[in-house]
């Protein structure tokens, strides 16, 4: 499929940028604004961190509270209705809006555009966007190609056959290794791509890899884009939008401890609940990890069809109400504060490469194969990492505590 094949985005017929859902927007990375916490929550979080310093991680504290123990996690079918994974078409629409001028060859001096994403923020975005625009999708090189600096990898680019064709490289993080032999290919790629030798393309990059690569290739990139942070109002709109609505049915998400409503859909209430503001701040505006936390915190009554009927007329219509309980605990895996230096090295390497195969770790780190394996298994049991496409990667729920650990020890972190 070529660009002109796409009926939805035939730009010859478009005079204005396409509209995107208002909660997704792509902005230059310098304009990213991580959501803040209300002062009371910030103090509570600081106190919780301090208490963690003073004691070892108490496994019992990670268990649900007594009154929540009776509730059970939502079945997958119900989760798919109430909080399905992010549909990549929505961020793709927003990316279309952000790249509207560039796709029209304005400004012409930018042959490539970078799209930087935090881990789990919008993983399927660029392959979908590429398909939408008939762009060639460039697969990352193999490990051997990276270590050999194999320039045959550039044969994939549509430079010779169809030089005007757009291309998309969705995962720049998989194109290098933090090894003396692992940098040549990515440097050549960036040099050739930025010089326009490879034609017009979009490069997607994980935010951690981006932070590292900017030390290898210190060229300013004011045009690099990222999805704007999901603060409380945006996250509320996202969670509301995610629900597959049924007619005459209202879903009430209620705090399992207090019974207070956190979110009601549909609702005329425009106020953002502090729980959602806190979730947005905890996940630093990352919609992917926020949605994962949200999904994990949803609970239902056991042995009960959760539908309750209310005869109260609302806006002239009769609504059924469905109560979904939201656990008051984030239930995230925590790293013990005594985590040793080798653990930090492994976690940092996994984040900088957007996941790594276990066999590569001893090549990149001054650790033995057995030592790496032992650390991986420990972290896996702590639910901090998991295998994904044959690569070990930090889990969405473990990401926040891993990031805090690495930031606290002064390791390079992403700019978000």
Partner 1 sequence: MNENLSSTQIFREIDLVIMLEIAAILAVAVVLIMAMQRAMNWLGQRLYGQRRLTLLALVPLLRLLIGISAVILIVPLVIEPSLQNMVAVLGTVGIALGFALKDYASSLIAGVVAIGEKPYRNGDWVRIGDHYGEVIHVGMRTVELITADDDRIVIPHNRLWNDSIVNSNDGKPRLQCVADFYLHPEHDADLVRSMLKDVALTSPYLHLDSPVMVIIEERPWGTHYRLKAYPVDSGQQFRFVTDLTVRGKELLTRQGIRFAATAAIPESGAMA
**Which residues of the shown chain bind partner 1 in the complex (CB under 8 A)?**
53, 178-180, 182-183, 212, 215-216, 337-338, 341, 345, 348-349, 364-366, 408-412
**Residue whose CB is less far from partner 1, 159 or 183:** 183
**Residue whose CB is less far from partner 1, 99 or 361:** 361
Strands 167-169 and 201-206: parallel
**Residue whose CB is less far from partner 1, 251 or 346:** 346
**Residue whose CB is less far from partner 1, 304 or 341:** 341
**Residue whose CB is less far from partner 1, 262 or 339:** 339
Q: Is the peptide bond before 107 cis (omega within 30 degrees of 0)?
A: yes
Burial of 247 (0-12, 13-18, 19+ CB in 10 A): exposed
The CB-of-51 to partner 1 minimum distance in angstroms stands at 12
- Give the total residue count for the chain: 416
H or E element in which residue 307 lies: strand 307-314
- 28-47 exposure pattern, b = at least 16 Cβ within 10 A, e = fewer: ebeebeebebeeebeeeeee
The CB-of-191 to partner 1 minimum distance in angstroms stands at 14
The CB-of-174 to partner 1 minimum distance in angstroms stands at 17
The CB-of-39 to partner 1 minimum distance in angstroms stands at 22
Edge-first strand listing for the sheet containing 112-117:
26-28, 225-227, 112-117, 201-206, 167-169, 136-137
Residue 227 in tokens: 């999805």
The CB-of-380 to partner 1 minimum distance in angstroms stands at 20
Q: How far from 408 is each of 132, 297, 339, 405, CA to CA, in Å?
A: 41, 27, 12, 5
**Residue whose CB is less far from partner 1, 328 or 373:** 373
**Residue whose CB is less far from partner 1, 152 or 338:** 338
The CB-of-410 to partner 1 minimum distance in angstroms stands at 5
CB 153: neighbour CB atoms within 10 A? 20
The CB-of-37 to partner 1 minimum distance in angstroms stands at 20
- Among candidates 56, 73, 55, which has minimal Cα distance to 64? 73
């Amino acid at each position: 499929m070529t660009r002109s094949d796409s009926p939805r985005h035939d730009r010859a017929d478009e005079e204005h940028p396409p509209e995107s859902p208002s909660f997704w927007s792509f902005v230059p990375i310098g304009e990213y604004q991580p959501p803040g916490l209300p002062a009371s929550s910030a103090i509570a979080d600081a106190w919780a961190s301090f208490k963690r310093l003073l004691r070892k991680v108490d496994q019992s504290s990670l268990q649900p509270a007594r009154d929540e123990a009776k509730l059970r996690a939502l079945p997958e079918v119900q989760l798919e209705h109430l909080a399905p994974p992010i549909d990549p078409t929505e961020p793709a629409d927003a990316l279309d809006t952000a790249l509207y001028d560039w796709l029209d060859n304005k400004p012409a001096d930018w042959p490539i555009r970078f799209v930087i994403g935090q881990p789990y923020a919008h993983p399927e975005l660029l392959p979908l966007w590429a398909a939408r625009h008939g762009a060639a999708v460039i697969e990352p090189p193999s490990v051997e190609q990276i270590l050999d600096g194999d320039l045959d990898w550039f044969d994939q680019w549509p430079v010779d056959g169809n030089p005007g064709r757009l291309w998309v490289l969705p995962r720049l993080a998989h194109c290098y290794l933090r090894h003396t032999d692992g940098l040549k290919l990515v440097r050549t790629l960036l040099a050739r791509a930025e010089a326009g030798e490879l034609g017009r393309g979009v490069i997607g990059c994980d935010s951690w890899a981006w932070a590292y690569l900017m030390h290898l290739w210190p060229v300013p990139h004011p045009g690099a884009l990222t999805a704007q942070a999901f603060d409380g109002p945006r996250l509320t709109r996202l969670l509301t939008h995610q629900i597959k609505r049924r007619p005459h049915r209202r879903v009430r998400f209620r705090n399992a401890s207090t019974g207070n409503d956190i979110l009601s859909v549909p609702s005329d209430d425009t106020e953002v609940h502090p729980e959602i503001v806190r979730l947005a701040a905890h996940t630093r505006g990352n919609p992917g990890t926020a949605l994962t936390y949200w999904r994990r915190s949803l609970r239902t009554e056991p042995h009960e069809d959760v539908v309750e009927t209310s005869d109260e007329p609302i806006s002239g219509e009769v609504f059924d109400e469905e109560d979904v309980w939201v656990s008051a605990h984030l239930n995230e895996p925590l790293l013990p504060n005594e985590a040793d230096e080798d653990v930090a090295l492994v976690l940092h390497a996994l984040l900088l490469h957007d996941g790594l195969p276990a066999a590569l770790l001893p090549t990149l780190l001054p650790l033995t194969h057995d030592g790496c394996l032992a650390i991986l298994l420990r972290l896996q049991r702590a639910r901090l990492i998991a295998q994904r496409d044959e690569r070990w990667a930090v889990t969405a729920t473990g990401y926040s505590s891993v990031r805090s650990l690495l930031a606290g020890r002064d390791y390079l972190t992403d700019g978000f």
